[in-house]
Amino acid sequence: MAEHTSIPGARTPDAPDAAPVAPEGISRRKLLGTAGATGLVLGPAGGAAGYTAAPSEATPLTSLGAGQAMFHGKHQPGITEGLQARGHLVAFDLTAGAGREEAAALLRRWSETARRLMAGEAAKQDDTDVARDAGPSSLTVTFGFGHSFFARTGLEKQRPVSLDPLPDFSSDHLDKNRSNGDLWVQIGADDALVAFHALRAIQKDAGSAARIRWQMNGFNRSPGATAHPMTARNLMGQIDGTRNPKPSESDFDRRIFVPASPSKDPEWMANGSYAVVRRIRMLLDDWEQLSVKAQEDVIGRRKSDGAPLSGGGETTEMDLEKTDAQGNLVVPINAHARITRPDQNGGAAMLRRPFSYHDGFDTDGVPDAGLLFVCWQADPLRGFVTVQRKLDRGDALSKFIRHEASGLFAVPGGAAEGEYVGQRLLEG
């Protein structure tokens, strides 16, 4: 949960909304969605004789529904866009007998489905109509390959060194059944039904080639839910993501995306990135017993506005040497925000784009809730691993969180027009 790397939850100038879909480009799905509601009449048996809901007037798509991300491009979607309100993370394993040829056919199907759904169109075959009333709603679908994918497809020589398994950390309590996988798909949208529709379509497209290994559901604040654009809050109530790298920064691409050349990575990873995925449970009952002052000391920032304890506003540079009247550091030596700073980790940086999650309660009433941590970097050893090792050595937040699942995935660059994601690997 490195604080310097979470992307703001609201759209910002560094990660703006895509332009709304032009009216002349309205899809069949969107057109059907403006037909209006059917009136409902409850007769005497229903206890409300004569009470009728009149059909509504046809209304245009809202700005939220009209947001559209592009499938084709230099990079895959779902990396630099702002946080989306709903998300699904799902990993697949290839089935017995499925190899490189079946994987290529699967990625071809998945890419076509993603392209259509992100444009607000229906799936090519057997569309469920779950999202027929909605626009694209900023839907993104992102695909990646796990370490095991390469042996299963006979492509071991093309497996990047950067995809070597992550080391063990002291905060790990990992469930192997909910970790790793041959293939990984990230789905995000600003509407829950649009996101689920994409998840169901991707699952159906897998057919006999792959089966689901694990799947997780997440959420963020909906765009427009706050009075003004602001950095997101997590389930601990903390503003989370003040120091996330921004696409406007001159070294952003170098830190987040694999260069075309020169590079230690294989050519098929050019313009791609590496995603570290962690299911981090927050021990909320313990956390909420702390006073606000104690919570702020753990994080190193004010809970109200995210400003550093050394003073100023949210984006004010933290003064690591400032002391109080008793000579104590204002920002404690083990504060999360101090430990995760790039200048405390050799410049290590990663782009966090997480979702919160809540999967109900344990038998004793303890919430199963926390963060679906997703971070992006050109080199996971220099990004996530460097920071997590530092956190392992004394982060004050560590006693309030538990890492319960993990995965590392190579996410290739975007597909050009007429291509599918991963084509340069699978057909190279």
Q: Indicate which residue of 182, 240, 253, 297 is catalytic.
A: 240
Question: Is 240 known to be catalytic?
Answer: yes
Strand ranges (DSSP E) for 148-228? 183-189, 210-219
CB atoms within 10 A of CB 31: 10
**β-sheet bridge partners, residue 91:** 184, 214
332, with CB counted inside 10 A (0-12, 13-18, 19+), is: middle
Q: What is the distance between the alpha carbons of residues 356 and 367, in angstroms, rounded to a whole number?
A: 13
Alpha helices in 67-191 (DSSP H): 100-118, 147-152
Q: What is the distance between the alpha carbons of residues 31 and 46, in angstroms, rounded to a whole number?
A: 33
* 16: preceding bond cis by omega (within 30 degrees): no
Contact 194, 88 (CB under 8 A): no
Going by C-alpha positions, the residue among 341, 372, 332, 379 that lies closest to residue 5 is 341
**β-sheet bridge partners, residue 308:** 301
CA angle 268–273–277, rounded 5-degree value: 125
CB atoms within 10 A of CB 237: 14
Going by C-alpha positions, the residue among 166, 167, 143, 145 that lies closest to residue 156 is 145
Cα–Cα distances (Å) from 239 to 63, 223, 305, 353, 396, in that order, read 26, 16, 7, 14, 17
Residues known to be catalytic: 240
